[in-house]
Structure 1
């Protein structure tokens, strides 16, 4: 793989200044005392205007160094001064961002007065200190490929006051040992944000030796998810003035006083609480069912919310292949198709994985506002896995459960009057019964003899109504809780025609089962009567058509569906004072 040297990029940037071309440098365009009359020349002021005019084609993007515009002006005013050493020594700030630099070679030493070097978003994996100018005071290496700090501190340490190492794969015990005052005696500001430091006590013990340190950025590291952060950091570094872009007040320091001495209270685990509140906007499911259909089943609807969250347990990668497969099934059922794997890998070389498991609220019947009042607290010991889970986000799903309840089969229900005339039985088909309808005696007899119909429930039918992704990255950047009203949009439920067709299908299936049972009963010599479901099947088609007609009639007057909303809160436990830490942890330790 070819390397992209820093010196090559810098030479290209300097060459783009065109210090020897128009309107800079010497040339026929410059007006001098010896210039012939009528020659096309420009005054010095006109040449300077060409450098600074917003619409000038000679304007140069100087974002990579604030000295670049001044150097071009010198190329117009005093071009004879611009020799090679002067150009290199003129730069005090260089910002090479996103240029694919992978190697810092010794040509950087030509910039002997360089004080600020920004190399963010490149491909640098090693920083040789012998190639850094001794004058350097600020070094920014954010979002590179650094995986160790031993190369940066192996030789003569640079006299840095600011060091930015954020968004790199740093966090080992060796990296912690290289962040001491012996290596950085003059360091005032340190940025370790979004790295992989997990051992809070070890890191703060090393940083406490940086006597000049005043500003520290740690947000985004796994240990910052623990309840002891930031209180333990504030009390461990009394010389610190600013933590995570926030000034440390005297009251805050007083609240956490004494916490650093009670290291037995510090535990490397996080406590996260997920709360699901009210859900609004789900259409009434009974509007999709034709309740007047003869012998229609009793339909019950229930709703619940499912979501994924990181489990506090860790399992062995070689022993839990089945659990991984089950988690994949949960993800496919309750998440969007393009979601990431539901297994969070703390480290590529680690044999333990943190399992993302599915969780569910209680089931509620439909109402315009369903308040689930679901609250669950999760204790997570894998802080690295929790950080990756927050970066991925939480997937929340609304599910519907439909249960069909049917009248029990006729052979299971005792017959009211086996000697009843045949004509009376045919009254089910619409013919008038010979028994007078006004006979109160007959009515009372029927009421006594007709049993209460028993209902048999089918297996529940579940379907996903809607899913939504909830970003949780702000919990890694200082926020202690996320309180959001999830908007899942309008719910596109099955239409009235589809519901009617589904009901017809279920009725037809039930009738076939009853006919089969009746046939088996006759073959056994049973005296059961013909199931009433068959009679209903002849009139069902008409009822089904009426249901469809009603749907088409009401379709034109359908109202606009409201969006479905879900109240969600995710909160990280954080100690607000040293006394609170004692109150929360001492009872647990005693138990």
Structure 2
């Protein structure tokens, strides 16, 4: 692939001005004083109008230089002055943006009075300072392919006031060494945004040697995600007036006074807090339950939210609802024993711990997967879940925030069944012979009132055993976090969940029938192995017959339900608001 030089692009732009063609330049269309033949000519004002009229075919894009429009007017008024040397000396500003320029060649030196050169969004990898006019005051090289500054600082323009190097692959200690007052004695404004600088202290030490620096842009660098930014920068550069586009007030400077001296406290690590609040709009899973539904299994639903966040340490759980509280609101119709069993299970099934895995989008990073507590269904489920993550890899955090992360809404379905008959059998073996005889006689006489009441009580509160929970993904939503990289402190959004994948009524019915058949088959196998323990399965047989009579050809399907559903989410980066706040973080022996 051939390289494209800067001078070739500029020459093409000048040719497009058509300085020697109509309505510019000398030609038969110009009104001449000695013209007596009556040839068709245009007066000067009409020619000038053709250059500026919005609907004129001779109007060209002149945004690449403010001098372009003035040159065309001169080509109408005094075309004889537009010789080559005059053209090159006339340009003061050149803005060559997104033109695939890859080489700055020596022909640029012909522009002897050039003061402003904008070369953003090109493919430039090196800036040879010897090819830059010494008259330059503004140089913008944003969004190129710069990876080093050694050639730019070999002989930099001595009067440069503004330098923009943003959105380049700069950030090494060698690059920092080229950003000192020795190279840029007149620099007033410096843009280093969206680069890869990580060593905040080293960079600020270098920038403090720039004697005339007043405006600095650093947002988008990894170290700006640390808690000590921007306070440490403000206190380290007392001559600075603007930081990241905001004026530094005297009050702000006073708040951060003394922070630069706390070098032991300045650690390049970030603290990010993720808070999940209320979730609304999840359809009630019990709406599809009708009166003909069998008593067993008892079906309970719980809901939780999962996400993955970058972390290099175990997250600090600030506030999280317990599962025991979450399951206190059990579906109506469940027996008291069922509630107790559910609560016992919740003590065992804690919210998922953070499983670390490789973050494949970049280099190896630890990604912490977190699950909120599980809540029973309600119109508004308040998770009140807050997690704080400490991240030491600021470059990895920058990539993570630029990509954002996903919130996933999951449902956990639990089927509870009456306990198997082994418990009853064990209870029988502990009975005395007299009790057995009494029970046999009562069975012949259709049973006594006392035994009937005991049997009725035993049936009313059976002990329930839970199956393995069945989890399903209801939906997910992407949360963009780029604003945190661009200088924002927090993202506070109401995530619209959109279309959810919920269980349809047909699916719920067939799943229940399937579970019944499976359970009855398992019980039957146990009864076949232990024939003396048969009994109590009449209800199950009836349900099996009813389910087998239904159509087996019905398909299980998912139904997308569009509801007004949302989740409250906040992601916040910790920022020190004052030096006194940072001072409180010092160990006690350093405060004395």
TM-score of the two chains, using structure 1 as the length reference? 0.84
Q: CA deviation at 1:310?
A: 0.7
Q: CA deviation at 1:252?
A: 0.7
In structure 2, the partner of 1:75 is 75
SS in 2 for 1:253: helix
- What pairs with 1:81-230 in structure 2 (closer than 5 Å)? 81-230=81-230
1:355 aligns with 2:366: yes
In structure 2, the partner of 1:564 is 565
1:199/1:446 Cα in 2 relative to 1: closer, same or farther (>3 Å)? closer
**Which residue among 484, 505, 508 is the counterpart of 2:493?**
484
Q: CA deviation at 1:412?
A: 5.1
In structure 1, the partner of 2:406 is 395
1:407 aligns with 2:408: no
In structure 2, the partner of 1:460 is 469
1:445/1:303 Cα in 2 relative to 1: closer, same or farther (>3 Å)? closer
Q: Note if contact 2:136-2:157 (Cα within 8 Å) is conserved in structure 1.
A: no
How many pairs does the alignment contain? 533
1:240 aligns with 2:249: no
Q: Note if contact 2:421-2:533 (Cα within 8 Å) is conserved in structure 1.
A: no
1:273/1:233 Cα in 2 relative to 1: closer, same or farther (>3 Å)? same
Counterpart Cα distance in 1 of 2:218 and 2:386:
30
**Which residue among 515, 521, 529 is the counterpart of 1:506?**
515
**Which residue among 520, 523, 526 is the counterpart of 2:529?**
520
1:125/1:365 Cα in 2 relative to 1: closer, same or farther (>3 Å)? same
Q: CA deviation at 1:236?
A: 0.9
1:485/1:587 Cα in 2 relative to 1: closer, same or farther (>3 Å)? farther
Counterpart Cα distance in 2 of 1:583 and 1:262:
12
Counterpart Cα distance in 2 of 1:236 and 1:310:
30
Q: CA deviation at 1:413?
A: 3.8
Q: Note if contact 1:344-1:354 (Cα within 8 Å) is conserved in structure 2.
A: no
Deviates more, 1:355-364 or 1:4-13: 355-364
Query: What CA RMSD, in Å, does the superposition of the two structures yield over aligned residues?
Result: 2.9
Deviates more, 1:30-39 or 1:364-373: 30-39
Q: Note if contact 2:311-2:389 (Cα within 8 Å) is conserved in structure 1.
A: yes
Counterpart Cα distance in 2 of 1:500 and 1:513:
20
1:389-416 C-alpha deviation (Å, 9 max, x unpaired): 1111121111111111112334554499
Counterpart Cα distance in 1 of 2:293 and 2:69:
83
Q: Note if contact 1:303-1:365 (Cα within 8 Å) is conserved in structure 2.
A: yes
In structure 2, the partner of 1:581 is 582
Counterpart Cα distance in 1 of 2:521 and 2:36:
110
Q: Note if contact 1:280-1:370 (Cα within 8 Å) is conserved in structure 2.
A: yes
Q: Note if contact 2:473-2:501 (Cα within 8 Å) is conserved in structure 1.
A: no
Counterpart Cα distance in 2 of 1:476 and 1:303:
32
**Which residue among 361, 368, 393 is the counterpart of 1:382?**
393
Q: CA deviation at 1:158?
A: 4.2
Q: Note if contact 1:295-1:533 (Cα within 8 Å) is conserved in structure 2.
A: no
Unaligned runs of 5+ in 2: 315-357, 429-434
In structure 2, the partner of 1:470 is 479
Deviates more, 1:439-448 or 1:568-577: 439-448
Q: Note if contact 1:190-1:215 (Cα within 8 Å) is conserved in structure 2.
A: yes
1:146-184 C-alpha deviation (Å, 9 max, x unpaired): 011111112354421000000001000000000000000
Q: Note if contact 1:500-1:544 (Cα within 8 Å) is conserved in structure 2.
A: no
1:215-241 C-alpha deviation (Å, 9 max, x unpaired): 000011111111111111111111111
In structure 2, the partner of 1:349 is none
1:419/1:101 Cα in 2 relative to 1: closer, same or farther (>3 Å)? farther
SS in 2 for 1:47: helix
In structure 2, the partner of 1:551 is none
Q: Note if contact 1:64-1:94 (Cα within 8 Å) is conserved in structure 2.
A: yes
Q: Note if contact 1:157-1:183 (Cα within 8 Å) is conserved in structure 2.
A: no
1:259-297 C-alpha deviation (Å, 9 max, x unpaired): 112211211111111111111111111123446422431
Q: CA deviation at 1:33?
A: 2.1
Deviates more, 1:176-185 or 1:569-578: 569-578
